[in-house]
Amino acid sequence: MPDKLKNLKTELTTELDNILEYWSKQAIDQKNGGFIGQIDGNEYKNFEAEKGSVLNARILWSFSAAYKIIKDDAYKKIAKKAFEFIIEYFYDSEFGGIYWSINADTSPKDTKNQIYALAFTIYGMTEYYAISKDEKALQLAISLYKKIQEYSCDPIHKGYFEAFTRDWQPIEDLRLSDKDANEKKTMNTHLHIVEGYANLYKVWKDETLKKDIVELLEVIETHFINEETGHLRLFFDENWVEKPDVISYGHDIEAAWLLLQCAEISGDKALIERYKKYAIQMTDATIEGIDQDGGLWYELEPEHNKLIAEKHWWPQAELMIGFFNAYELTGNENYLDIVLKNWEFVKNHLLDKQNGEWFWGVYEDYSLIEKDKAGFWKCPYHNSRACIELIHRIKN
């Protein structure tokens, strides 16, 4: 097993370079500035595509985090480019929010304040601050945290509301994407708020922020984790009435390790112990979504027991971290075997060995899902983070 781990670390170090090389060479928008809004599955670059704040925040996070372990100044320069682009074009200086998207010419397009986007901007800005010590990055992260607390935090029932207009008024369409339920409180947004807050706390030891992280983890524990099944509940109204939906295997395993990491950053010992148990329970629950080839299926519709028979890139990346985390917690090598088998699946079916990066995913028959290589939702964050986390965690 030590040899297998050493080999895995070597391969993931190479893969991290490959991912970031693709984004460094292909995703720079030489026509309009910043980063290109869309590259399709055939490497066609759409210079007229809108640019998403989430994509740009994730680029900022990925290159900043990678610079910490691979001290390549080229990574730091791209992180700086992403930082400056967000500050100049996505930050709404009038109302203190983040535009959901801008046009290719950098004019604002969708100006709503989707809290998910603010959370990712905090995540990216704090990671960039850690490598640059640029005070503007930290101050923007703090100001976005305060905006979320002021407008999105529910003082009565707790938790966070999804979205607002540019000037922080209620908005009818709260959804992140067309596939989501139009509900006021969602697992996905809560998961990424606490992720952003925890990253902020690493560089800004504010006691109020720490309390907010602890409260958030308690809210997630109370409402989103199904302690009977180990899966996540996804959608609720403002009064915490659940609107049942799919089982999302990728989110289950992402939450398994990420929520424990946030608890550890908070330093709350009781929470850490509880989230260690949830980490194992949620990891074990995810096993039902793993195919014989080692790949993780996308979703299950429990009402009809219908599998969404697709294997997208990001659940594979989260599986690698989540199951390695379970191996670290238990010493059970069965979890590690799942990581190694999943990595073989990724190498065989998702890595684009000709052009670089990972394909969106494959169908049940291994034919490619013809979706973006880079775009609104196809970012370097999940797969680079899988490489970064495992490089950190493999001790040899």
pLDDT in tens, 313-336: 999 999 999 999 999 999 999 999
Angstrom CA distances, 177 to 195, 221, 313, 362, stand at 20, 25, 18, 21
Q: Mind listing the pLDDT tens digit of every residue in the chain (396 residues)? A: 789 999 999 999 999 999 999 999 999 999 999 999 999 999 999 999 999 999 999 999 999 999 999 999 999 999 999 999 999 999 999 999 999 999 999 999 999 999 999 999 999 999 999 999 999 999 999 999 999 999 999 999 999 999 999 999 999 888 878 887 888 999 999 999 999 999 999 999 999 999 999 999 999 999 999 999 999 999 999 999 999 999 999 999 999 999 999 999 999 999 999 999 999 999 999 999 999 999 999 999 999 999 999 999 999 999 999 999 999 999 999 999 999 999 999 999 999 999 999 999 999 999 999 999 999 999 999 999 999 999 999 987
How wide is the angle at C-alpha 44 spanned by C-alphas 73 and 18, nearest 5°?
30
* Count of structural domains within the chain: 1
Identify the pLDDT of residue 39. 98
Amino acid identity for residue 288 in this structure:
E
Query: In CATH, what number is assigned to the domain containing residue 285?
Result: 1.50.10.10
CB 100 within 8 A of CB 111: yes
Domain that holds residue 239: 2-393
CA-nearest of 81, 163, 162, 156 to 124 is: 81
Q: Where do the DSSP E strands lie in the chain? A: 38-39, 45-46, 51-52, 91-92, 97-98, 101-102, 108-110, 113-114, 163-164, 185-186, 235-236, 247-248, 299-301, 306-308, 310-312, 361-363
Contacts of 243 (CB under 8 A, 6+ apart): 181, 183, 235, 236, 237
Q: What are phi and psi of 290, to 5 degrees?
A: -95, 130
Identify the pLDDT of residue 175. 84
Q: Could you tell me the two tokens for 116?
A: 């998910």
Helix (H, G, I), strand (E, B) or coil at 225: strand
